[in-house]
Amino acid sequence: MVTAVVDNPMLSVNVKLWQFLSVLFARDWRRCVALVAPVCLMNAMQFVYLYQQWGDLSTFILNTFFAVSVFNALLRTCLIIKNRDKFEALMEELVTLYDDIQDSDDDYAKSVLAAATKSARNISIFNLSASFSDLIVAMAYPLFQQQRVHPFGVALPGIDVTRSPLYELIYIGQLSFPFTLSSMYMPYVSSFATFSMFGKAALQILQNNLRNLCDNMKSKTEEELFEILRKNIAYHARIARYVSDFNELVTYMVLIEFLLFSCVICSLLFCINITTSTNRNGSAKYTHKRLCPKCTTMYISLSSLIFFFALR
């Protein structure tokens, strides 16, 4: 069944990344720790840096975005590991429903499923590409600065992290983060969008089945109608269980992310307003150059959440 889930076109993009990280469908804890532990260490150093930058509002709010995003990626990963059996069971149920539709003779159902699969894959690839590109730009940004800055603002108590060789060691240590953070952060967003789109497609197929049942009532016997109705009721029950399991796994996490990112984007916009009204020097330009892409990224994140609720 693991092979079926990994090879399923709706899930393969995200599941293969989770499998590589040993989050789902793999139990190599050494690989998981080796990939996640450096991110945990960096996130702790980010919060130390935020504590040191408390007086500098623009720098504090800007780096809050990075720290909260990394913390959210870790939170998502821990949530999936904690509920890995439930996530794996939900994916296996999706694959079973998917294969049943593919094996049926219903052309309408296959067309709806194909459209949902294409959209799910496009969303997954776009999210990963956008996240990876954004992090690559963040990693390259310090190379074009005259002063030494880290891609992700980090600090250690009592230690100057901008002095050699510590600066170079930290920078080299962060080079793997575009791949690691993208693999930890985006598959969760893409997966619950995939789950939602599949649920919507399944309901569209059920609606079409019931419509055909009503249209063909006169041409079928009572026994045939009863059998068709029984199958549709059983199919509806499976969809209901699928949606219930899906809600149990993602609802509260999505609510936390929505509230968290709403606060962060409001802080970013507030920072842009105060730097516009109080600063006219190069520092303000520096802040704007780094804040505007972050606001765009946050807008995309909130749009994804709104899209998720619209599908439900």
- 44-56 per-residue burial string, b: 16 or more CB within 10 A, e: under 16: ebbbbbbeebeee
As a whole number, mean pLDDT of residues 55-72 equals 77
As a whole number, mean pLDDT of residues 3-11 equals 81
Inform me whether the pLDDT recorded for 285 exceeds 60: no
d(CA 287, CA 162): 20
Inform me whether the pLDDT recorded for 276 exceeds 60: no
d(CA 175, CA 151): 9
Domain definitions of the chain by residue range: 2-311
Inform me whether the pLDDT recorded for 303 exceeds 70: no
Q: How far is CA 141 from CA 49, 64, 136, 147, 174, in A?
A: 18, 18, 9, 11, 13
Map tokens 């009863």 to a residue. Answer: 226
Nearest to 75 by CA among 263, 253, 246: 253
> Tell me, what's the pLDDT at 272?
66
Inform me whether the pLDDT recorded for 5 exceeds 70: yes
223-227, 236-240, 270-274: least confidently modelled range: 270-274
For the beta carbon of residue 2, count every other beta carbon within 10 angstroms: 14
Are residues 208 and 109 in contact, defined by beta-carbon separation less than 8 angstroms? yes
> Tell me, what's the pLDDT at 30?
82
Sign of CA dihedral 85, 86, 92, 95: negative
> Tell me, what's the pLDDT at 262?
78
Nearest to 256 by CA among 79, 45, 57, 62: 79
As a whole number, mean pLDDT of residues 153-178 equals 83
Higher pLDDT residue, 260 or 84?
Answer: 84
> Tell me, what's the pLDDT at 106?
80
Sign of CA dihedral 105, 110, 111, 112: positive
Strand partners, 159: 156
Task: Summarize pLDDT for 108-138 with one digit per residue, the tens.
Answer: 888 999 999 998 888 888 888 888 888 888 7
d(CA 151, CA 139): 5
As a whole number, mean pLDDT of residues 206-226 equals 78
Higher pLDDT residue, 110 or 143?
Answer: 110
Higher pLDDT residue, 228 or 270?
Answer: 228
